[in-house]
Amino acid sequence: MFRVAAAGDIHVGVDSEGRLRASLEPVADEADVLVLAGDLSKRGELAEAAVLAEELRDLGVPVVAVLGNHDYESDQQRALTQRLTDVGVSVLEGSATVLEVAGGRLGVAGGKGFAGGFAGACATAFGEPEMKAFVNSATRAASALEVAASSIEADARLLLLHYSPIRGTLHGEDPELYPMLGSYLFAEVADRCGVDLVVHGHAHGGTEKGATPRGIPVRNVAQPVLRRPYAVYGIDVASRRETQRGEEVGASTSSGV
């Protein structure tokens, strides 16, 4: 069993010194890994990045993060990423990492994701160049994440996003905002790659729990939704291995008929 601690939208500012650290002190006893689902800072400023890095230094568990829209506000996302990397945080953007933890090998594919909407009510790459650029941003992000997730060789796989991949975890938000809060493209990636868990943030007024069309658990870990420093979710490796063995037996039987 992998124990995944998750939080998003922590919005660290220059006045946040010591606050995040205090709330994360128990995490090493409660989880095997901490994943952060973007909006790590208020405005993506370098002074905020310096505070954030110190708050996340040496927590006793691996820390994996993606950036959110707030982290891009000051156009310092590369420097922010470097500050976090310098203290051992893995920052993903269309990439993946595999962690060796007590439960085995846990793979995490991650990226910010993007907006665009959901099946039946989504933007399409048609018309003005601005609309095409908007839609193609989500398409490129989804393609990169699919390559990353597909490359993972591990006992379990997690997809880490900022934007939501489903409508279900947006319930509570104004429906008119849904197209700006996520895209169905990322749920399709999760389903095609068969990940075990999807974690995202961004939807402050949304709902914690949902699922992709194929039933993969999706968790909205924005702190205004959780109302606690982080949530801990379990990924049952034994159950996954049993499922994989069943699929292999089924495939073998089919090929022999």
R_g of the chain computed on alpha carbons: 18
Percentage above 90 pLDDT, the chain: 87
The pTM score is 0.92
Closest CA to 158 of 98, 100, 214, 101: 98
Please give the pLDDT value at position 239. Answer: 64
Q: What's the CA gap between 178 and 181, in Å, rounded?
A: 5
Strands (E), 171-235: 197-200, 209-211, 217-220, 231-235
pLDDT band of 102, cuts 50, 70, 90: confident
Tokens of 121: 């009510």
Q: At what angle do helices 77-86 and 46-56 cross, to 10 degrees?
A: 20
Closest CA to 243 of 149, 159, 148, 155: 155
CB 109 within 8 A of CB 96: yes
Q: What's the CA gap between 108 and 220, in Å, rounded?
A: 16
- Does domain 2-256 correspond to CATH entry 3.60.21.10? yes
Tokens of 204: 């402050």
**Matching residue, tokens 């048609």:** 126
pLDDT, tens digit, for every residue of 67-99?
Answer: 999 999 999 999 999 999 999 999 999 999 999
